[in-house]
Each structure stands twice: as C-alpha cells, then as structure tokens.
Amino acid sequence: MALKQMLWLISLQFLVLVVKIGAKVPAIIVFGDSSVDAGNNNYIPTIARSNFEPYGRDFNGGFPTGRFSNGRIATDFISESFGLKRAIPAYLDPGYSIKDFATGVTFASAATGYDNTTADVLRVIPLWKQLDYYRDYQNKLKSYLGKGKAEDVISDSLYIISVGTNDFLENYYTLPGRSSQFTIKEYQNFLINIAGNFTKKLYDMGARKISLGGLPPMGCMPLERTSNFMGGSECLESYNNLASEFNGKLNNLVIQQNKDFKGMDMVFSNPYDTMLDIIRKPAAYGFEVTSVACCATGMFEMGYACSRANPFTCSDADKYVFWDSFHPTEKTDKIVADHVVKTSLAKFL
C-alpha cells in the first residue's frame, strides 16, 4: 500500500475514533426542581417563577429565562463540559423544538418534589408528569431521528435528577399534612421509595447512564439562617444533618439498583461537601458573603419578592454564594458542576 494511502487510512480511523468519543453522551436529559429548571414554570399557572429581572441579569449579557439564578445553572455547565450546548432548554418553551431538545432538554419544574403533594403546594409539575413529558419526547425524537438513531440517543444520554429539598422545606416542615402522617425517618424512606421507582421507570424506558443528585446543606440557605435568629443566624445543623442522612440513603439506593438492574450505570452526584466547603471557606473560592443572598435584603426573598426595583440587591453576584434566599449564584453552581464533572460524572465524559 502506498504511504499516502496508509496515512489517509490512519487519519480516517483517527477521525472515526474522535467522532465516537465525541458522541459518547449525545444529550443530557434533566428532571427535578428549581435547581435544574430552565423555565418550564413560565408556561404553567404558578407563582413559582423567575422570568423577570434581576433573575438572569448575567445570562448572556442579561436575559431572565426562568432559571433561579443570576446566570446559568449547574446543568448548563455540565452540558458545556460534555461538549454539548452552553444552556439546556426547557421542554415547555415554544421557542425550541425537537431539533434543539435532541442534544439536551430539561423537564424540571421549580418547587416540585419527589412527593406529589409537594408539587401541589404551588401547583407545579410533579415528577410523574415530567416522566410523561419524557415519553412524549421519546416519540418526537423517534420521528425526528428515526427509530434506531433515537434509541441510541436514549440509551447513551446522561440523565440528571436533582430534587428533594422542597419535600422537606416547602412541604414536611411547613405544612401540617405529611408531618402528621409520617415521622421524619418514615418520610425519608417514603421519598427514597419514590426515587427508586422513578429511576426504575427511567431504566425501563431505556435510560442507562443516570446521575442521582444529593441534597445541598439546606440548613445553610439564607432563608433557613434568617429563621435561625435565636441561633445567631448560623446554619441550621438539624437540616444539614437531615440532608446528609438522606444523601446516605440515596447513595445506598444507587448501589442497590446498579446490582439489581443489568446494564444500569447510575452514579450519586453529591453537592453537599463542596457547598459546605464554600460556605465555610468563602475566601478560598473568591466569595465575600455567605450568610445572606445577593437579591434584595438577601434574608428571605425569592421569586416575585426578589424584585428588580429593590435597592438593596448587590451589584456583583460573584461575591455572593447565594443569589436569592434559596438558590446559589451562577458562580457557586459552576464550582459545584465542575466538581461533579470531575468526580461522579467523569466516567461518562
């Protein structure tokens, strides 16, 4: 064989190799709450919204999308790290179509939880309904790409689930219903059972690579610190311990289902330690403020209370760990996203 021909063949093989590696995860498909909602709630009748300024003021030079952030959120950064798009669009946003969703989509809805009754509080999209939308998505994907190609995308995609905080803070500890039915231990197990049924259903629908997200140190959210005025506005240890305990149960669920279901490749992605480290040593990450949020007084405002007209909103969100009283800034989300990409998600890169 002539040298030129050989080189040509080698470079062609190299190209095939690169393309194959590049296509390892063709899409990122997201389920959950406000930590990963990119604006689905803009299209349903709920007050759990953030599609107005100052939300999004650092998103591509200023654009409120419905993300509960000043800019992008963790899943956007993860998508970018996987060589996919910079921002994952919301499934209900009519500005996008299956052509866009074929490489990434979020079905998430702010204020939802594992528990159906959590979604009822602010009338947002329950998890089972997000799965219905996903079923609808699979059908559209099959018409768009053809059955075979769509099935490849379905099995090779990375599925990210991030939900659970609202079940405790918005539901169990706020409303009388669940707390009169369940002890906190029973409630945790109830939620784990729902989580397990959800990931099993995803698996039955063809998903293989799944990232089950853990809870953040939720006692350190500014809203919870504000409520802890008797304790000097420190982090609420009881809520942090609860998050740790629940994360342990989620991790066990991941281990169990990887054993039980052939070909299942689920990982537990834990934001807890990284976030707590940021909160304890803010200067090491370039932050100046951890106990209050950037938006408004930073003590309790989120959603509509976090208004553009508020004169107290900070000018540089990068100095703050939290954007509103419940949600991290874009900068915090990027640090957490980079951490999970390097750890739990590294095997899928």
Ligand X SMILES: *[C@@H]1O[C@H](CO)[C@@H](O)[C@H](O)[C@H]1NC(C)=O
| Residues designated catalytic | 34, 324, 327
Question: CB-wise, 187 or 323, nearer to ligand X?
Answer: 187
- 181 counts as binding ligand X under rule CB under 6 A: no
Stretch binding ligand X (CB under 6 A), from 81-89, 189-197, 263-271, 282-290:
189-197
CA 341/CA 334 separation, integer angstroms: 10
- 128 counts as binding ligand X under rule CB under 6 A: yes
Give me the least distance between CB of 171 and ligand X, in Å please.
13
Give me the least distance between CB of 185 and ligand X, in Å please.
16
For the chain, how long is the longest CA-to-CA vector? 82
CA 42/CA 124 separation, integer angstroms: 10
- 194 counts as binding ligand X under rule CB under 6 A: yes
Query: Mask of contacts with ligand X, 88-127, x by CB under 6 A?
Result: ----------------------------x-----------
Q: How far is CA 346 from CA 70, 163, 209, 211, 338, in A?
A: 27, 21, 12, 11, 10
Size of the site for ligand X (CB under 6 A): 5
- Residue 28 has φ and ψ, to the nearest 5°, of -115, 125
Stretch binding ligand X (CB under 6 A), from 46-54, 90-98, 192-200, 309-317:
192-200
Q: Which residues contact 140 (CB under 8 A, 6 or more apart)?
A: 98, 101
- 197 counts as binding ligand X under rule CB under 6 A: yes
Amino acid present at 22: G
Other CB atoms closer than 10 Å to residue 204's CB: what's the count? 9
CA 111/CA 119 separation, integer angstroms: 6
Question: CB-wise, 145 or 196, nearer to ligand X?
Answer: 196
For 39-114, strand residue ranges (E) read 104-106
Query: Mask of contacts with ligand X, 199-228, x by CB under 6 A?
Result: ------------------------------
**Which residues would be at the binding site for ligand X (CB under 6 A)?**
116, 128, 193-194, 197
